[in-house]
Amino acid sequence: MQLTNRSKQVSNKEMTLAERAYLPAIATGLAITIKHFFSKKVTIQYPEVKRYLGPVFRGRHILKRDAEGRERCTACGLCAVACPAEAISMVAAEREKGEENLYREEKYAAVYEVNMLRCIFCGLCEEACPKQAVYLRHDEFVPVFTERDQVIWGKDLLVEDMNNRYTREAWTKEEARALDAKRASGEVTNVVPRAIP
């Protein structure tokens, strides 16, 4: 069976003098390596240059607000149940009068915490959520933490900033590059990654 046309028949024939001398083979090898010496390098200078990881990359969590800026989460706990790493915990509270512009429904999460050491970024919380409240961002990682109190992220870090809304705009690499260019020229501001604490 032939899978590619690059296969070579193995042979045990006697080597010629040139082959036994080994030096021509070394010269060929040296020519190949020196060609690579001058070729373009594939390295991406990471902290300065970041690769676009695609629209379905699962980065850090975000708790979405709706179009009027009200929190979507109703603290139903389905994400916590779905979480295989048991990273999510929450405390529910009832909405008071006058808080209708803050929370979308009568019940909301007074405390919503994700333990970033436990989280395995599987995205099951995203799938379980009936209110489209929790998402894993495709454009931001959880930054490296050096202190214990940076591990558990509360609502202060998770809830969406209305001035800097998270939209998954670029679905292809080309779109992402176009968006990057727009971001650099200042045309788009809402997709700039939020400053991470």
Partner 1 sequence: MDLVEFLVKTVTIVAVFGLTLLIAMYSTWAERKVAGFIQDRSGPNRAGWGGLLQPLADAGKMFFKEDFIPALANKWLFIAGPSLAMLTALLASAVIPFGSTFRIAGHEVALQGVESNIGILYVFGVVALGVYGIMVGGWASNNKFSLLGAIRAASQNISYEVAMGLSLIAILMMSSSLSLGEIVAQQHGMNWNIFYQPLGFIIFITCSFAECNRVPFDLPECETELVGGYHTEYGSMKLGFYLFAEYINMFISSAIISVLYFGGYNYPGMDFVYAQLVKSFGPDTGHNIATLIGTAVFFGKALFFVFFYMWVRWTIPRFRYDQLMNLGWKKLIPLAIFNIIITGAAVLFLKPVITAWLN
- List residues near partner 1 by CB under 8 A: 23, 26, 29-30, 32-34, 36-43, 45
Contacts 24+ apart (CB under 8 A), 167-174: 167/191, 168/55, 168/138, 170/52, 170/55, 171/55, 172/55, 173/52, 173/54
Q: Tell me the C-alpha distance between 175 and 108, whole Å.
A: 36
To partner 1, the closest distance from the beta carbon of 126 in angstroms equals 36
| Residue 83 annotated as lining a ligand binding site | yes
Q: Tell me the C-alpha distance between 87 and 117, whole Å.
A: 8
| Residue 140 annotated as lining a ligand binding site | no
Length of the chain: 197
| Residue 76 annotated as lining a ligand binding site | yes
To partner 1, the closest distance from the beta carbon of 27 in angstroms equals 10
Of the candidates 165, 4, 153, the residue with the CA atom closest to the CA atom of residue 69? 165
To partner 1, the closest distance from the beta carbon of 2 in angstroms equals 29
| Residue 125 annotated as lining a ligand binding site | yes
To partner 1, the closest distance from the beta carbon of 39 in angstroms equals 6
- Residues placed in the known binding site: 73, 76, 79, 83, 119, 122, 125, 129
- Residues placed in the known binding site for [4Fe-4S] cluster: 73, 76, 79, 83, 119, 122, 125, 129
